[in-house]
Amino acid sequence: MQSISKKVVLVGNFGVGKTSLTRRFVFQKFADEYLTTLGVKIDKKIMSLPDLQVNLIIWDIAGEVSQTKVPKSYYLGANGIIYVFDLTRPSTFKHISEDLDYIQQLLPNIPYILAGNKKDLLSEDELKNTISGLPLPCEYLTSAKTGECVEEIFQDLTKKMTNRSA
């Protein structure tokens, strides 16, 4: 089976759960301390599609209030983006549009996925209210704690990056 590698960048504010989502999804080799020293940590996960094996090289970038503060070189050559925000903290999704505009300037035409994390902390009603107040429609509501939709976001992104229909 043919094998290809794709770079996935995980972005979002501080404390939204990017590292927890990655930890749910991959077997980690590098310690999380790299995030505080280098501002990035690399993980790997092999995804198998029917006709293709995809090595996802996941760049888990340390959270910043604005994405403009992340070193541009960390975005370079990315094949896909997962933008993570915290459903319980409006400050983490207030600037989604500006952040995505900035990322799309750096990386035009690459697929991205919006993931609202920490779903497990909200009741049904709270969740409805939060979703109605989001600046952009969000495809995935995830929980790194329960594992809900974690695998699905990576699968969907892999299909988008390899032009396989979702």
Q: Please, what is the minimum distance in Å from the beta carbon of residue 55 to other proteins?
A: 6
Please give the Cα distance from 96 to 35 (Å, whole number).
Answer: 22
Question: Which residue lies nearer to other proteins by CB, 28 or 155?
Answer: 28
Per-residue mark of binding to other proteins, 4-43 (x: CB under 8 A): -xxx---------------------xx---x---xxx-xx
Q: Between 141 and 161, whose beta carbon lies closer to other proteins?
A: 161
Q: How far is the CB of 64 from other proteins (least distance, A)?
A: 14
x/- track of binding to other proteins for residues 57-86 (CB under 8 A) = x-x-----------x-xx-xxxx-------
Q: Does 48 bind other proteins (CB under 8 A)?
A: no
Query: Cβ distance 62 to 103 under 8 Å?
Result: no
Does 90 participate in binding other proteins (rule CB under 8 A)?
no
Helix residue ranges per DSSP H, 3-77: 18-25, 33-37, 72-75
For the chain, first and last CA: distance in Å? Answer: 20
- Number of residues in contact with other proteins under rule CB under 8 A: 23
The residue among 85, 65, 67, 100 whose CA lies nearest residue 133 is 85
Q: Is 106 in the site for other proteins (CB under 8 A)?
A: no
Q: Are 93 and 85 in contact (CB under 8 A)?
A: yes
- Closest to 139 measured CA to CA, from 53, 75, 63, 81: 81
